[in-house]
Amino acid sequence: MGGARPLPFGLTMKRKYESAQTKRLNWQKIEPVKLREASVWTMANEQKFSDEALMSEIASVFATKAPKTARSDGPVAEKKRQKENKILDAKKAQNLSIFLGRIKVPYQSVRKQILQCSPELESSFVIGLLNQLPDAEQISMFKELKDEYNDLVEAEKFCVVVSDMHRVHMRLETIKFQREFEEIVDRSIKPDIVSVTEASRKISKSKSFRLFLELVLFIGNVMNAGGRNQQSFGFDIEYLPKLRDSKTADNSMTMLHFIAQLVETDPRYEEIRGFDKDLYAADRARRVAQDDLNKSINNLTKEVKNLEKNVEQVSKLANKDPDDKFDETMNEFLITATEQHKLCLDLKATLDQEYDNLADYLCFNTKKTPIEAFFSMMNQFREDYAAAVRENQMRKEEEEKKSRREMAKVAAEQAKIKKKEKLQSCASKTQIIDDESENVIDDMLKALQSGEGNKLRGDKRRRRKPR
């Protein structure tokens, strides 16, 4: 009865290594029950990296040491007095009057442009007017002041002019939406969706990144042997940036530097090399806030529905103003907006599916990890890895310079020794010659002192022939 629960998807238990006297990689271990069939961890075969030489190097480089502390990483202008207002409060009338004073266009012309949805109406003017215009209830009250038009302040004169216009706020809001539509859709929503979708696909389809994760899993299981995280099937993807926090025994490099050195220099890991290029799309995707994107999509849906309702409503007006071209102009826009809205919804559905697939692949929870959080983490890891590669290269170059300096120093010392030996040899030869000269002189002096010198001279005289 009982027994261990069988592993899913035909998985077998991970190899159990001998207890390692090394530092630990404190990742969040992924349990088999949380795996998905399409997960990288389900397909992982990190044993391909099993190598005694590598394991020995890991044991040496990351040997246990006493734990170290973690690295630390203007004045308000005085209000002008206004004439007495009929309906608007003083501040509202003042702000609207200032705004209208900037456009220098007759009020009747502005009214006509709004009715015709004229291209001459700039987006900034429409937005400003919406901000300054009184609400619909106050606007309707100005219909009663037509006979007092000449006695009104400028702000209230304008309100009288637009008071008989059918739903002036709705018209302005629709014109604003039309003016901003391209910016919203083509320069915000669609680029954001495309960037996240592309980044999700790049990561989930990257063979080199999959192999990199397997290598990290292998190293971690070797180092975690005998600990709570031994025989891990996978690890929380959020652990990747923390590879830079695990240091070697001599604190000369981090685990990230160690792995980067293996990947970038060892021919055995050539297939992994360049995996960071597949993470580059994360740089753009990290700038997409998931809540903001969802809000933009929802607002777009709401605006398109309102547009459709407003066009239909205006087209059914019984006594339309002769200048009213709202339904004609906006009906064309409605066709375009509806098509683009559907396209955005389709693209967003694709994004959601791709991001869900990525979450299944790497075993993370999309509800706890929004788009911007995940891709920010991946981009940070990509930048850290690139920095580790550069630092390894700089370290190598510095070591080569140091080696050349030491070799030059040794060569200089050897040359100095040879020169000294040569000088000593020359001095020795000179001393021998001096010694020989002194010996000859000494022999001659001794001969003279013993009388042999006189005998020799006498012999020479006797041998001399007579003249």
pLDDT score of 81? 47
pLDDT at 319: 85
What was the pLDDT predicted at 380? 96
Rounded average pLDDT over 447-454? 63
State the Cα–Cα distance between residues 166 and 27, nearest whole angstrom. 64
Between residues 201 and 251, the one the model is more confident about: 201
The pLDDT of residue 67: 47
Question: Is pLDDT at 438 greater than 50 in this prediction?
Answer: yes
What pLDDT is attached to residue 60?
80
Start-to-end Cα distance in the chain: 146
Per-residue pLDDT, 11: 84
pLDDT of 332? 93
Q: Which two tokens stand for residue 66?
A: 């006493």
Q: Tell me what the mean pLDDT of segment 153-160 comes to.
A: 92
In the prediction, which pLDDT does 357 show?
96
323 or 456, which is more confident: 323
Say what the pLDDT of residue 15 is.
Answer: 83
Arithmetic mean of pLDDT, 330-344? 96
Percent of the chain past pLDDT 90, that is, above it, reads 53
Residues of the chain with pLDDT > 70, as a percent, come to 86
Global pTM reads: 0.76
Quick: pLDDT tens for 205-234.
Answer: 999 999 999 999 999 999 998 888 888 999
